A and B are shown apart, each in its own frame.
Chain A
Amino acid sequence: MIIDIVVITFVVMGLVLFSVGTLGILRLPDAYTRMHAAGKLDTLGSICLLFGLALWQGRHFDLAHLIVAAKILLILVFVSFASPTATHDMVDAGMRAGIIPWRKGDKRR
């Protein structure tokens, strides 16, 4: 019962983070700020969501379910490495390509 509430909290938190990230991609003014929203919120959103799912699998506490939970945790580790690096690389590529960051008062790009 308690674990249900914890899992639901994590999954809903992940979904909220994903929605805010999407909102950020749509509303923020330039590539760097959009990347900021996408990188941070998508990473944290997937971590919350996957952790909730791993807990949901781990609630039975037998071998088959724990293996699935461990696999989900491995995906979590992979995402937490790969997603910030991808964001970093794209921002880096933008800086090298000479895209000027947006400043307050500039036009939306």
Chain B
Amino acid sequence: MKAISLIAVLLAGIALVYTTSDFPAWGDPESPASLHVSNLYIEQSYEKTHTPNVVTSVLADFRGFDTMFETIVVFTAAMACFFILRRSREECVLEHYYYRHIATGLVVRMPGACATPTQGAFEQIDSDWTPQDIVVSTVCRLLIPFMQIYAFYVLAHGHYSPGGGFQAGVVMAASYLLLALSHDLRFVIARFSERLMHILAAAGVTIYVGTGFIALTTGANFLDYGGLAGLLRMPLASGHSLGILLVETGVALTVCSALIMIFKLVSSQGTINEGL
């Protein structure tokens, strides 16, 4: 069996290497990829969009609609996850929950108690709770602030460097996932509630589409950020970078909250109560 799979892998590898001989040469101006619009993107990117980075100008200007609908797809995925996975608050998944008396450390088992409000002297703990691992939680406490600053850095430099909204949102979401891994799920929900997540996910899409409509009101095309410059009486380049910053902020908000939402729902079997 091993020999057969080795031969199969070798044959597939040879076939792949063989097909590369049909590819156009590296940097060939006659290759199909560089015949259509890419020349226009490269030659006229700066004077048409006033963005110093071609990747961003393609992402946010030439293919603004594409990016907008990508953001809407992310939002839709989060919503689909929510509607399919989320259970009602009254429904019990486990038959019992555990509560710890904070002062004495005694653990109480509550059979049939669904998501009893935790307040006062008791705090809810996970059913497979073990004492907090100090190495992981300390290192996470050290690293998470820097991760979040880095997310904002990536977001704010969106129009200068490749990347921007999607990457910033993912880094931001990763910092919250790290918090969930190093503490527990409720710890994150206390800081980033479900309601806030939904509002931010919707707000991100609204900011993106709204930026497009603001440009429309000044007589420019939909998502033509030059319109913002006319509205605020600023140079065209500043209008463009402001528009891209707004759009990237919208993307980052949607991506960040959608990722956290999907993580919470999947890891807690839809209860947002106890997971991992």
Q: Does B146 contact A (CB under 8 A)?
A: yes
Contacting residue for A88 out of B136, B142, B181, CB 8 A: B136
What is B's interface to A at a CB cutoff of 8 Å? Answer: 130, 133, 135-136, 139-140, 142-143, 146, 181
Question: Which residues of chain A from 12 to 62 have any CB-CB distance to chain B below 8 Å in the complex?
Answer: none
Contact of B142 with A92 in the complex, beta carbons under 8 Å: no
Contact of B146 with A85 in the complex, beta carbons under 8 Å: no
Main secondary structure of the interface of A (DSSP, over half): helix
Contact of A89 with B136 in the complex, beta carbons under 8 Å: yes
- Residues of A in contact (CB 8 Å), total 8
Main secondary structure of the interface of B (DSSP, over half): helix
Contact of A85 with B130 in the complex, beta carbons under 8 Å: no
Contact of A81 with B139 in the complex, beta carbons under 8 Å: yes
Contacting residue for B130 out of A82, A89, A96, CB 8 A: A96
Q: Which residue of A lies closest to B130 (CB)?
A: A96
Contacting residue for B143 out of A78, A89, A92, CB 8 A: A78
**Residues of A contacting B142 in the complex (Cβ-Cβ under 8 angstroms):** 81
A–B Cβ pairs within 8 angstroms, 20 of them: A78-B143, A78-B146, A81-B139, A81-B142, A81-B143, A82-B139, A82-B143, A85-B135, A85-B136, A85-B139, A85-B140, A88-B135, A88-B136, A89-B133, A89-B135, A89-B136, A89-B181, A92-B133, A92-B136, A96-B130
Complex CA gap A88/B135 in Å reads: 8
Question: Which residues of chain A from 66 to 109 have any CB-CB distance to chain B below 8 Å in the complex?
Answer: 78, 81-82, 85, 88-89, 92, 96
**10 nearest A-B pairs in the assembled complex, by CB-CB distance:** A85-B139, A89-B136, A88-B135, A92-B133, A81-B139, A85-B136, A96-B130, A81-B143, A85-B135, A82-B143
Q: Which residue of B lies closest to A92 (CB)?
A: B133
Complex CA gap A59/B95 in Å reads: 64
Which one of A81, A82, A85 has the greatest number of beta carbons of chain B within 10 Å?
A: A85
**Residues of A contacting B130 in the complex (Cβ-Cβ under 8 angstroms):** 96
